[in-house]
Amino acid sequence: MKNTLFLLFLCLSYISSAQEFSVELFFQDAAGNQDSVILGYDDNATDDIDAAFNEVNIITTPYTTGLDVRISDELKARITYPIPLTPTYHTKKQIFRKDCPTDFTIHAIDIVTDHWPVTLTWDNSLFNDACRNGTVFTSISPGGWWDTSSPSDFSSGFWRVQLLNQTQVVFDDNTYYTGASTPNYSYTSDDNRVVSVFWFTFGNESQLLSTEEEKLSNVVVYPNPTSDEVKIDLGTINLEVDTIALLDIHGKRSNVTLDKNNVIQLKQRKSGIYFVKIRFKNGQTLLRKIIKK
């Protein structure tokens, strides 16, 4: 009888903690510090802390030295308009409510480190599924997907990675900068740590690109690196350019013009990393990183 009860207890424990799908994301900063989080989904999960899936709320735990990565609702609560809310959770594991194929909740991933950039690694074979082949990790604040930029864009050119297509990405901090249109990329914690916020969502690849955006992704800026000029090859897109801006690594912006050959002159610019930002008259924008020798 005791053996039967013990086996029943083990079965119930397994059922309570198992989920339909989960993946571990591994992070490492420039100093070699490592951390990870687990994300997944299940029909029985909620978007809050679920003890049944072994999720633990660590919101009262101070950030550790080195690298600390968490899933939280901290930034979302802080920027709620017009009255900020009180954050409710920080966790290392979050199992989402399943809402296949494109309506999964977007969750924030908070990263604290003094040693950027950070490298993210994962097993991309886990995303070859119609429910999650469009899963993304991104530096762009939800609501601006995908035609805006972010602080990480200006430092390392990172804005989005589709987890099916790669196994690793290196990215820089997402800390608010003076030229940004919104500060909704980072915050200062109660223990005075600067927290860069990124976002993750499961989903089908249909959530990623419209036909026009697919064409935008094929726009080429060359030669790169360059010493004198770059040419913008717009390919087959049927959009009218509104403005073109050049931004330096600190976000300082200056408007530039294309000549009749779609060329931007850079002879008078200092050597370094720049970003060409093209805004089209339909409201879409395109960002390309260039290196001036």
Report if residue 113 sits inside a domain: yes
Q: Which domain holds residue 281?
A: 211-292
Based on the fold, state whether residues 232 and 257 are members of the same structural domain.
yes
User: Within 13 A of 184's CA, how many CA atoms are on the CB side?
Assistant: 19
Report if residue 38 sits inside a domain: yes
Based on the fold, state whether residues 195 and 57 are members of the same structural domain.
yes
Provide the edge-to-edge strand list for the sheet that holds 285-292. 253-256, 241-248, 272-280, 285-292
What pLDDT does residue 142 have?
A: 81
What pLDDT does residue 194 have?
A: 92
What pLDDT does residue 247 have?
A: 76
Kindly tell me the sign of the dihedral angle through the C-alpha atoms of 139, 145, 146, 150: negative
Residue 105: CB partners within 8 Å, gap ≥ 6?
47, 96, 97, 99, 201
Last residue of a domain, one of 152, 183, 206: 206
Based on the fold, state whether residues 107 and 222 are members of the same structural domain.
no
Report if residue 13 sits inside a domain: no
Based on the fold, state whether residues 55 and 187 are members of the same structural domain.
yes
Report if residue 10 sits inside a domain: no
Based on the fold, state whether residues 88 and 48 are members of the same structural domain.
yes
Report if residue 73 sits inside a domain: yes
Report if residue 29 sits inside a domain: yes
Q: How far apart are CA 60 and CA 64, in angstroms?
A: 12
Domain total for the chain? 2
Last residue of a domain, one of 206, 240, 270: 206
DSSP lists the bridge partners of residue 192 as none
- The CATH number that applies at residue 279 is 2.60.40.760
3-class secondary structure, 74: helix
What pLDDT does residue 2 have?
A: 46
3-class secondary structure, 115: coil
Based on the fold, state whether residues 202 and 159 are members of the same structural domain.
yes
Based on the fold, state whether residues 239 and 177 are members of the same structural domain.
no
Show the tokens assigned to 13.
Answer: 């424990």
Based on the fold, state whether residues 48 and 141 are members of the same structural domain.
yes
Based on the fold, state whether residues 92 and 179 are members of the same structural domain.
yes
Report if residue 81 sits inside a domain: yes
Based on the fold, state whether residues 115 and 225 are members of the same structural domain.
no
Based on the fold, state whether residues 54 and 139 are members of the same structural domain.
yes
Last residue of a domain, one of 169, 189, 206: 206
Residue 285: CB partners within 8 Å, gap ≥ 6?
147, 148, 149, 277, 278, 279
Which residue stretches of the chain have pLDDT < 50?
Answer: 2, 4-16, 181, 211
Report if residue 7 sits inside a domain: no
Based on the fold, state whether residues 33 and 171 are members of the same structural domain.
yes
What pLDDT does residue 217 have?
A: 63
